[in-house]
Amino acid sequence: MGRRRWSPFAFTSVLLISLFVEARAFTHIKTSLCKWCDYSSPVCEDHVCTSNCNLTSFCTLEEEVCVAIWRKENETVSVRTLCHHPQQALDNIVLANYSSPMCTMLPQTWDSGLLFVCACVGDHECNDKLIFDKGVPGYSKINGKDVIPVVVISLVPPLLVAILATAIFYVYRTRHLGKQPKDWAPKRTNYQSLDPPEGRLGEANGSDYPGKLTLLGEDGHSDLSSTRANSLNHNTEQLPIQLEALVGKGRFAEVWRARLNHSEGQYESVAVKIFPAVEYASWRNERAIFSDANLKHENVVQFLTAEERGGGGGGSTSGGGGVGGPQRQYWLIMAYYTLGNLQDHLASHVLSWADLCSLAGSVARGLAHLHSDTTPCGAPKVPVAHRDLKSSNIVVKDNLECALCDFGLALRLDLSLTVDDFANSGQVGTARYMAPEVLESRVNLEDLESFKQMDVYSMALVLWEMVSRCEVIGEVKSYEPPFGSKVCEQPCVDSMRDLVLRDRGRPDIPTSWTTHQGMQLLCATITECWDHDPEARLTAHCVVERFNTLAQEEEEERSLLNQSTDIITDQQNQQNQQHQNQHQHQHQHQNQNQNQNQNQNQNQDQNQNQHQNQHQHQQLELEDEQQQTEEPEEQGSTTTSAPPSPRAERDSGTGTDMDTGMDTPSQPSPTSDTQASEPTKALSEV
């Protein structure tokens, strides 16, 4: 049987039929065909602008509509075109009037400049033609023939200024700069310095000690004040940063320790958070959070700048595995803290009660600042919900205080936003630290306080981690995260839902922890913060007040202890003074007794002298009387006896009574014996 041949007519018919079927299938596609460019420069005339986007794509879902976002920032106009579901918020913008076939631009609130948004459906590429009801902002109605003169006239002044600036710069470089001294400090680019740099200063001038580069701020101190921390680098030139070592890696980005070079041999250490191109949304969200000047606080990580870096541009990289290649990257440059994050610090340190109060109180103060609608100075501020608070997203400063970081999932709680703006803020965060209402997907989007209550629950788990490593609880076990023994290392949402919702599980607080009076109050605060009912939880400001109360009580106890110590010291001093007085009194009494004894001895000596004098006087009187009685007898005897010898005459004239009595052989009369015995009797009486 021969092979049948196809005629040219039949072949052409089959081809036409297949093309017709494909065309019919193409026309039955129900999704919208839209312009889709992340960035394009529009062309405007009168009330209409053309997106000037060269890419077109069908929307993925039938419900999606064509959207165009027109921005004007610092005289730069750009248009972003895409497909988007109208029921979901787009960059915190609610789409309105999206059923029109024409893309009519509607103004929106934006802090950085002008913002117009439109949505349309029906016609193919309806978001290519942008219609402004009141004319295109910043574009004047000029006829075509007048464009060239106006452009020329408008370009003359900037051209003259540029020429003059170039000439001045050339003169400065060739003449003045060559005369500057060698120790002239290098010029700084337009960014703020962070904490005191740790680097090799070598022989740099102006340093007090080697190995450190001291950068003085406005207040004369080397660390950056929290009021000067957050700033954006608007320079076209990228900062001279050299990556050194990878210190952390998360779901969205990597964190590197880097060197911010100032001049040869001078640098300061900074932390660089590097987002890949696919995580541009996270980088943009965190940059938007940091760009709020009112976010600055001593317990919030210090932010330096944000940069977009391409494949071969930017600073050099090093440290083994440095970032390179053609892929675009997005950087956030912040302060570097040598003590690392709180989780690593708790794993390697046991806290004292003072350290616990310092770390926990600073976490509460940082979160209270995020949730507050005013700054500490009273200025209005947009509250921020962190939504991923955990110990690994908190860094420890050198003064043993904490600073909150990682705002990739943070949400600005702007009162002008509606429920639809928060519709895409569902289950976010880390499953281990998710609040019960987040695990159950029943967050009340109509109440902005519900986002703050989620953060308070996560903070309670962080406080529990710190308490479990404090020495005042008694036996301190090795570090483990919340629910460490009840779930796996990386628990999923389902396992946490069973543990937290079904079993109402919470980390254990043994009774031995509450023996310390301050720890008892802290554990009660933790229990109130992780309550199952969000409305029953404490606010971050209440937790700060609890810590303030705790500090006041401890201060009062210290003051009472000091007072009691002073009282005891005074009593001891009084007792010592009394003992000294008694000792002095006894010493004086002894001295008085000694003086009295001396006086008595002197009196006795005087009495003895008096008695001796009286005795001698009496003895002399007796001798005189004896002599007088002996004289008549001698006169009677001279009549019968021979005359006395010359010796007798001499003795009778000059001798004493006692010698006369001894030389006389005659016996004394009875009267003289009686008188002689009287002095002896008086002497014996004495």
pLDDT in tens, 289-301: 998 889 999 999 9
Q: Which residue has the higher pLDDT, 665 or 452?
A: 452
Q: How much is the average pLDDT of 558-575?
A: 76
For the chain, residues classed under CATH 2.10.60.10 are: 33-144
Q: Are 540 and 367 in contact (CB under 8 A)?
A: yes
Does the domain formed by 191-336 have CATH 3.40.50.300?
no
Evaluate if residue 384 carries a pLDDT over 80. Answer: yes
Computed over every residue of the chain, the mean pLDDT equals 77
Burial label, 117 (beta-carbon count in 10 A; 0-12, 13-18, 19+) = buried
Evaluate if residue 193 carries a pLDDT over 50. Answer: no
Give the per-residue SS3 of 352-379. CHHHHHHHHHHHHHHHHHHHCCECCCCC
pLDDT of the residue at 13: 63
pTM: 0.52
Q: Treating both helix axes as pointing N-terminal to C-terminal, what angle do 353-371 and 540-637 enclose, rounded to 10 degrees?
A: 140
Burial label, 214 (beta-carbon count in 10 A; 0-12, 13-18, 19+) = middle
Cite the active site residues. 388
**Dihedral angle at the C-alpha atoms of 506, 511, 515, 521, nearest 10 degrees?**
30
Per CATH, the number for 33-144 is 2.10.60.10
Q: How much is the average pLDDT of 22-43?
A: 72
Written as one letter, the residue type at 44 is: C
Q: How much is the average pLDDT of 217-222?
A: 34
Q: Are 57 and 36 in contact (CB under 8 A)?
A: yes
For the chain, residues classed under CATH 1.10.510.10 are: 339-569
Cβ neighbour number for residue 456 with a 10 Å cutoff = 26
Beta bridge partners of 73: 76
Beta bridge partners of 56: 35
Task: pLDDT band for 426, please (50, 70, 90 cuts).
Answer: low
What is the share, in percent, of the chain residues with pLDDT greater than 70?
Answer: 73
Q: DSSP characters for 49-102?
A: EE-----EEE-SSTT-EEEEEEEEETTEEEEEEEEE-TTS-BTTB---STT-SS
Evaluate if residue 177 carries a pLDDT over 90. Answer: no
Q: Which residue has the higher pLDDT, 8 or 170?
A: 170
Binding residues, as ranges, are: 273
- Sign of torsion, CA 132 134 135 139? negative
Cβ neighbour number for residue 516 with a 10 Å cutoff = 17
For the chain, residues classed under CATH 3.30.200.20 are: 191-336
Per CATH, the number for 339-569 is 1.10.510.10
pLDDT of the residue at 652: 45
Q: Are 425 and 412 in contact (CB under 8 A)?
A: no
Task: pLDDT band for 11, please (50, 70, 90 cuts).
Answer: low
Q: Which residues contact 464 (CB under 8 A, 6 or more apart)?
A: 482, 507, 509, 526
In a 3-state reduction of DSSP, which class is residue 271? strand
Binding residues for ATP, as ranges, are: 273
Evaluate if residue 140 carries a pLDDT over 60. Answer: no
Q: Which residues contact 27 (CB under 8 A, 6 or more apart)?
A: none
What is the share, in percent, of the chain residues with pLDDT greater than 90?
Answer: 32
Evaluate if residue 642 carries a pLDDT over 70. Answer: no
Least confident of 202-216, 424-438, 545-559, 620-634: 202-216
Q: Are 652 and 644 in contact (CB under 8 A)?
A: yes
Q: How much is the average pLDDT of 136-165?
A: 74
| Separation CA 212–CA 197 (nearest Å) | 7
